[in-house]
Structure 1
Amino acid sequence: MDLQDQLKNLFPEHEPEIVEKQDKASDIWLQDDPILCKYEKRKGKPITILEGYTGATEDFKLLAKELKQKLSVGGSFKDDKIIIQGDYRDKIMAMLKEKGFNVKRVGG
């Protein structure tokens, strides 16, 4: 007897609610123009730069924070650009496409 059967025995009149899952990307504004994903070296170290987002700055900051946490790397948000330490273009592009963004790889 699993948990749901036990709950039905305890509360026979209860009708379980059907909860619709909301996509996390729905709270971020999606745009028509692609986000540019660049690779550069600064002081001999590789970085990935994301730019071209036309939505709210706060949404872009949240996206930067989420990318840094998922990749477990450092980075920053400056001048409407997300700067991620390391060459993570492929992983970042896959994550953004999964969220519904158009992404364009620039250089290399």
Structure 2
Amino acid sequence: MSFDSNIHEKIIIGGTEKGYRLKSSAPAPIRHITVGSFRLRFTIAEKVAIETSADPVVKVLKDDLAASSYIDFENQALLDGLAYYESVGILAPGRIAELTADGTPEEAVNR
């Protein structure tokens, strides 16, 4: 196989080209995590606020999350639900970004 700059990178040692290798690719971001992993991202105070809320919308969103087979951070219903939690004061501003940050390998679905 000959050098192809689209898939190879040159190996240079001491200023001298020594060959080439396949480019390393960054791992894809983890955007699907387990329901349990997602629950662990909430603080105790947030969980208590969700559990004790009399708001039926909060209860429906909680039930929907519990019934999910996994959490998909690209799912618009999830993002809308978290925005609702923020609008009623369950989540502080900025928490949605923290809660939906890329998952870790330990949180990933089908590890």
TM-score with structure 2 length normalisation? Answer: 0.28
More strand, by proportion:
1
More helix, by proportion:
2
